[in-house]
A = this chain, B = another copy of it.
């Protein structure tokens, strides 16, 4: 239960920052704000839940053996609830809504989401679960700023979710069209799964 609360809180603040920063005027600093929000929630919650805040990360962590499959449904539900709650507050309490959802092309969007999520899960598994990196103090910085870098690179192509819970919230806030978020979800899960297999290959049997 404690793990799920931590997952809900972390995903809530991640999606809150996505919505408020993008709609509310952080301008071209929004990826710094979003990556920072993820970074700080990872440093805060990593010791309790592993700090996934992302169903694609939970998938990758399970495939790599760093999270039990039995925990996965609770994690994913907490993430989606946290993301949806944040989107509700952005619109319902702060009154921020996005005029026009981004227009996305299917092929480039799915490829961009696969690439960005691959980078994210590849970095996470290496910095947070590889034995050689035990006890480091950089894992949150590395993971948060993967999202910053990928949002600058790929945000203009796909919106830059790299996370189905973010995609859900982005749909609710009309940053992307609700009818388009299947592209993100497909790309996120594919990218996360590939990252887990590449991690296992390049790290060997440890």
A positions within 8 Å CB-CB of B? 2, 5-6, 9, 13, 16-17, 19-21, 24-37, 39-41, 43-45, 47-48, 89, 93-95, 107-108, 111-112, 115, 119, 122-123, 126-127, 130, 132-133, 136-143, 145-146, 148-150, 152-154, 156-157, 198, 201-204
Contact = CB atoms under 8 A, between A and B. Distances in A.
Residue in A41, A136, A139, A202 with the greatest tally of chain B CB atoms within 10 Å: A202
B198 A153 contact: no
Given A20-B157, A26-B28, A26-B152, A94 B123 contact: no
Contact of A149 (B40, B143, B150): B40
A58 to B, nearest CB: 18
Nearest to A112: B94
Contacts of A148: 32-33, 36
5 contacts: A31-B33, A37-B149, A39-B145, A43-B139, A48-B203
A2 B201 contact: yes
Contacts of A143: 40
Contact of A21 (B9, B89, B152): B152
Contacts of A137: 136-138
A31 B6 CA distance: 26
Contacts of A138: 43, 137-138, 140-141
A110 to B, nearest CB: 10
A172 B2 CA distance: 42
Q: Return the 3 tightest CB-CB contacts between A and B, nearest first.
A: A33-B152, A20-B153, A137-B137
Contact of A157 (B34, B94, B115): B94
A204 B47 CA distance: 12
Given A20-B153, A24-B157, 17 more contacts: A2-B202, A2-B204, A5-B201, A13-B149, A17-B153, A21-B152, A24-B156, A29-B31, A33-B149, A33-B152, A37-B150, A40-B123, A40-B146, A43-B138, A94-B157, A138-B138, A140-B141
